[in-house]
A and B are shown apart, each in its own frame.
Chain A
């Protein structure tokens, strides 16, 4: 039987190479594409015949729209509306990757650090580029909170720069680690079952325990899947706030 890390193995489905780089269509790519297709179908269908009086499907997509819309407005402000499509896409992408990854036998693209790091760096690059674009060099004043006495500035400014540079890393690691840990836990509990069965009758009877535990863990993982998408989106909002208005 395979170890708990085997589920994260990238497997090539269609080998592909562009300009010498291996860009094969893998199981990770498959589940990203399936997530994308789910989003297309869900939002396509629910908004196709959008009416003033919404149906169930339309209501569901409107709830998501309003949820992220409120998040953007509360955390960035009215000017943050330019970031709304990005935050909405990030939220839906991570949410669908996490949720589809919970389908047994599927693959979770967000359990790979490179994917979450790319998303985190996109946010980081957005913060830096739009911050400099909107505020010019004045943007760097985010490293120096107002009202700090001069001696403390020598301490605060390096810490603030350090914090700023670590933002994409924390975004990436938080999501990746949560997804990976959850799936490892599911795998470990699941493999307790077959192990117990080999111990004879008593083990056979007791093998129900890891299964029952796994049901609870699975429910927890559903919560984590949604929560991590939410956390990633809301932290992106908080980081992007600096590009709209400086100083808190």
Chain B
């Protein structure tokens, strides 16, 4: 409300002054602008004032404003450049990290593969060794069986000869020669073979 009253008062003030100003009659031409006598003074003071303003503007105000605007532009540009630089750095870091991760994956893969190859080779070598050992054992066992068979065949000949001698004595009552019997058995064996 106070503000409104103040606004009204300020608004009305010009009218009051415009209405009141200027007592005493004008001298010179009807239009004061056409009073040539005032021209030198107006031109003189215009030259001084406009000259001073032009000097002030061109040598003080404009350079100062231009400088501050330039420095603002530079600051903004510098900040942006710094931001770009930081972004570049961050991008580089990310790229390096990615490369590192990729390298680690690759290495892990290679190691896995190497380990697999190694394991396979070990297993094959062990299987081969086992097979060799097993066949050696089997061979030996076979040999042993063979020799035992031979031994037992020999004993069977002896037993057959002895049985023949004893049988001849008991059944026929003839004393028989053991060596003769053995040679007969051998002859029979050879015939069988």
Which residues of chain A have a CB within 8 Å of any CB of chain B?
1-3, 5-10, 16, 18, 21-26, 28-29, 32-33, 35-36, 39-40, 43-44, 47, 50-52, 54, 58, 61-62, 65, 84-86, 88-89, 92-93, 102, 104-105, 109, 111-115, 118-119, 176, 180, 186-187, 189-191, 193-194, 210-211, 214-215, 218
Contact = CB atoms under 8 A, between A and B. Distances in A.
A43 to B, nearest CB: 4
Contacts of A194: 19
B72 to A, nearest CB: 5
A239 to B, nearest CB: 18
Contacts of A29: 41-42, 44-45, 49
A189 B38 contact: no
B11 interface: yes
B192 interface: no
15 contacts: A1-B22, A7-B21, A8-B31, A8-B33, A26-B41, A29-B41, A29-B44, A29-B45, A32-B45, A32-B49, A54-B68, A62-B65, A89-B50, A186-B14, A215-B12
Nearest to A103: B14
Given A22-B37, A39-B56, A85-B57, A28 B21 contact: no
Interface string B20-62: 0111111010111111011111111110011011101110111
A25 B46 CA distance: 11
B65 A114 contact: no
B69 interface: yes
Contact of A215 (B11, B23, B31, B72): B11
A58 B68 contact: yes
Interface of B: 11-19, 21-26, 28, 30-35, 37-46, 49-50, 52-54, 56-58, 60-62, 64-69, 71-72, 75
A8 B64 CA distance: 37
A189 B15 contact: yes
A90 to B, nearest CB: 8
B43 A52 contact: no
B43 to A, nearest CB: 6
A214 B10 CA distance: 12
B44 A112 contact: no
A99 B2 CA distance: 26
Contacts of A113: 33-34
B72 A52 contact: yes
Contacts of B37: 22
Nearest to B27: A9
A104 B61 CA distance: 29
Most A CB atoms within 10 A — which of B11, B14, B54?
A: B14
A172 B58 CA distance: 24
A8 B32 contact: yes
A33 B46 CA distance: 9
B12 to A, nearest CB: 6
Contact of B19 (A21, A84, A109, A193): A193
